[in-house]
């Protein structure tokens, strides 16, 4: 389904043999892993310390305050990283799930991450009742746990270690694994289902096996997916990663507990696309 005009560029090419492996991992388990200017017409947002809070960077997060397609194209364009991150084909994603600043009333402190699996949104809490809202895709594991946790590990281009139970159910996966430092796994890269970044949630010293991670399947954002935990567009998870120091609190909401945010551009944006 096309959500935006087809003039927006298609995703760029991947390294040979890279992306093709993603499609073979339709049932992966994410538990493996080593880790405003408030002018509503502003186009790019440099989030100031007074807006975000002292625990987050002064500048650097880019988020959308209106419906300008060109700004989304800039936010979701190609990124030069350890591996190249291709541009996102925005025609495949509902605009409601693209990164933007919204009003978000919560008792959580600035810098907290709030995940709402039911609405498929993730919020980075700012000051003064604001948040950066990101669209997510939610896998089976993403609906299976709720509560408060802490980011105790974060990885760029994380390795993926399938649980032994998964390898037992799907022996063919072993042919895709390499012998890594922590056992059979898939090294980080374009073919890895955890994408460009991963954040690992702990309660005390116990790994919750709940992950927030990237994906090379951006068309799944805003949907319920067959696998994984909380997946984000790679450009979004890279942005969130830069604003998420170790020790960041994460709250995963249970059904019925979500707040009702409002986009800054809700007065000028058609219903359903705020």
pLDDT at residue number 151: 98
* Mean pLDDT on 98-113: 96
Residue numbers annotated as active site: 213, 229
Q: What does the pLDDT look like over 69-97, one tens digit per residue?
A: 889 999 999 999 999 999 999 999 999 99
Look up tokens 């037992």; give the residue: 168
DSSP assignment of the chain = ---S-TTSPPPPPPPTTTGGGGGG-TT--TT--------TT-SS----HHHH-TTS-SS----BSS--HHHHHHHTS-B-SSSPBPPP-GGGS-GGGS-EEEE---SSPTT-EEEETTTTEEEEE-STTEEEEEE-EE-GGGGS--EEEEEEEEEES--B---HHHHHH-GGGGGG-EEETTEEEB-SSTT-TTTTEEEEEEETTEEEEEEEEEES-GGGTTSB-SS-SEEEEHHHHHHHHHT--TT-EEEEPPTT-----EETTTTTS-TT--
pLDDT at residue number 98: 97
Q: Please, what is the average pLDDT of the chain?
A: 77
> 9-23, 201-215, 229-243: which range is least confident on average?
9-23
Spell out a b/e string for 120-138, using b for 16 or more CB atoms within 10 Å of the CB, else e: bbbbbbbbeebbbbbbbbb
pLDDT at residue number 12: 34
Give the confidence band of 148 by pLDDT, cuts at 50, 70, 90. Answer: very high
pLDDT at residue number 33: 53
Hey, which of 60-64, 129-133, 255-259, 260-264 has the most confident mean pLDDT?
Answer: 129-133
For the chain, list the domains and their CATH numbers: 36-158+194-259 (2.40.440.10)
Burial class of residue 20, CB neighbours in 10 A (0-12, 13-18, 19+) = exposed
pLDDT at residue number 107: 96
């Amino acid at each position: 389904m096309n959500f935006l005009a087809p003039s927006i560029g298609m995703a760029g090419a991947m390294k040979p043999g890279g992306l093709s492996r993603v499609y073979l991992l339709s049932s992966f388990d994410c538990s493996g892993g080593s880790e405003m200017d408030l002018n509503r017409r502003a186009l790019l947002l440099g989030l100031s310390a007074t807006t975000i809070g002292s625990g987050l960077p002064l500048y650097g997060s880019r988020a959308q305050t209106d419906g300008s397609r060109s700004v989304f194209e800039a936010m979701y364009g190609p990124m030069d990283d350890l591996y190249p991150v291709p541009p996102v084909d925005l025609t495949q994603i509902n605009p409601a799930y693209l990164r933007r600043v919204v009003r978000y009333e919560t008792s959580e402190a600035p810098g907290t991450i709030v995940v709402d699996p039911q609405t498929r949104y993730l919020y980075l809490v700012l000051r003064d009742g604001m948040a950066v809202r990101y669209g997510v895709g939610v896998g089976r594991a993403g609906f299976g746990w709720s509560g408060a946790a802490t980011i105790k590990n974060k990885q760029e281009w994380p390795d993926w270690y399938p649980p032994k139970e998964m390898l037992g159910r799907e022996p063919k996966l072993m042919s895709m694994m390499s012998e890594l430092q922590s056992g059979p796994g898939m090294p980080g890269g374009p073919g890895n289902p955890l994408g460009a970044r991963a954040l690992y949630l702990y309660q005390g010293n116990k790994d919750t096996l709940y992950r927030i991670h990237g994906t090379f399947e951006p068309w799944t954002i805003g949907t319920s997916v067959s696998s994984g935990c909380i997946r984000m567009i790679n450009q979004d998870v890279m942005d969130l990663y830069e604003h998420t120091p170790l020790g960041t609190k994460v709250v995963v909401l249970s059904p019925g507990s979500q707040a009702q945010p409002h986009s800054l551009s809700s007065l000028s944006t058609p219903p359903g696309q705020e």
